[in-house]
Amino acid sequence: MNALLLAGGLGTRLRPLTEQMPKPMALVANRPWLEHLVIQLRDQGIDDFVFAVKHFHEQIRQHFGDGSRFGVSIRYALEQSLLGTAGAIKNAETMLDERFIVVNADIVHEIQLIPLLEYHRQHGGLVTIGLTEVEDPTQFGVVEQEDNGRILRFVEKPRLEEAPSRRVNAGIYVMERASLSYIPKDQAVSIERETFPLLIRETAGVYGKVISGYWKDMGTKDRYRSIHWDILNREFALPLPGQETGQGIWVGEDCEIATGALLVPPVLIGNRVKIGERSIIGPFAVIGDDCRIGRNVRCSETIMWNRCKIGDAMNLNNCIFGFGLELGPRQILHEAVVNRMEAMQA
């Protein structure tokens, strides 16, 4: 059994951060989310992966290669045109096993595979959809199920009083290869809006099981921030790089933190970071690898990707900075989301 990771999305709602990169390659706790996902699945016994890719696919290939660096095998199914979720799966058909897992690679979650796989084997249908329960189902496609878990229908964005449940598609599926015969080749097809309803109408056996653990779509900047705060609070126990030098303070290798600089937990500092005198970093700060932070900087509720350079006496709050951003001295930035390489001067 292998795993197909859907990694071809544009990530428009995370722009400008994802303007020049695939959304699953956005950093989460200083590592691409796609890397976290591969490791998470590998540690549960999956060592054969197929990546469905399109936009900026070269970046994914460059980072992962054939997967050997991560102890897995990775092949790539490139979409020549946008095919939708089902079309992307159909495009990878020749690489997939008789039974395979599909994961939407831009949703951040903890996946517990064994209960999902055992349930799939028991019911004998073609598809098992991992479900998650949400407080407000009015923004999702909600499932109606029989007692045995068989899905009867999806209700798209119902009013609260009309929602048949609070269970929604979590973006992870266990599928039999026979289900792909219901997907036309070389066409843009949505698995959520077209393929699953077709399989239900044909009584091919579409079942759903609630998966436990953390789940959040990082599709907006607010959700992207909240994922990091959940990680730093350990509500989402994603393994963090570096050493925990104090409660809620993680520091990477070869860092230079000046005398008088203060780290206020929770805070995550990457590798080879330099922090100047009398700077205060945190609470809720994530600093990427190779960042340079000047003197007298105040930085809280802020996420910096790798190689950022921050001038002296900067005051940063609730910001997100992409790769290689340079900021001149003596500025106050609040809720800034910036992704560019040139220096921003005062």
- Boundaries of every domain in the chain: 2-217, 241-344
Q: What's the confidence (pLDDT) of residue 341?
A: 44
3-state secondary structure of 268: strand
Residue 332 to residue 314: CA distance in whole angstroms: 6
Gap between the Cα atoms of 205 and 196, Å rounded: 10
Q: Quick check: bond before 283 cis, omega within 30?
A: yes
Of 3.40.50.1950, 2.102.10.10, 2.160.10.10, 2.40.37.10, the CATH number of 241-344 is 2.160.10.10
Phi, psi of 33 (to 5 degrees): -55, -35
Query: How many C-beta neighbours within 10 Å does residue 298 have?
Result: 16
Tell how far CA 322 is from the center of its chain.
16
Judge: domain 2-217, CATH 3.40.47.10: no
How many angstroms separate the CA atoms of 24 and 53, rounded?
A: 10
Instruction: Please indicate whether the domains covering 2-217 and 241-344 agree at the CATH topology level.
Output: no
What's the number of CA atoms in the CB half-sphere (13 Å) around residue 101?
30
Q: At a CB cut-off of 8 Å and minimum separation 6, what does 23 contact?
A: 9, 10, 11, 14, 106, 218, 219
DSSP 125-137: -SEEEEEEE-S-G
Cα gap 108→227, rounded to integer Å? 8
pLDDT at 342: 39
Residue 197, preceding peptide bond in cis (omega within 30° of 0): no
| Residue 188 CB-density burial (10 A; 0-12 exposed, 13-18 middle, 19+ buried) | middle
C-beta of residue 322 within 8 angstroms of C-beta of residue 339: yes
Q: What is the pLDDT along the chain (346 residues), one digit of tens a residue?
A: 999 999 977 666 667 777 778 889 999 999 999 999 999 999 999 999 999 998 888 999 999 999 999 999 999 999 888 888 899 999 999 999 999 999 999 889 988 899 999 999 999 899 999 999 888 888 778 889 999 999 998 887 788 888 888 898 888 999 999 999 999 998 899 988 899 999 999 988 999 999 988 998 887 888 899 999 999 999 999 989 888 887 899 999 999 999 899 999 999 999 999 999 999 998 999 999 999 999 999 999 999 999 999 999 999 999 999 889 999 899 899 988 888 643 333 3
Cα 90 → chain centroid? 23
Rounded CA-CA distance 22/59 in Å is 8
| Residue 5 DSSP one-character state | E
pLDDT of res. 219: 76
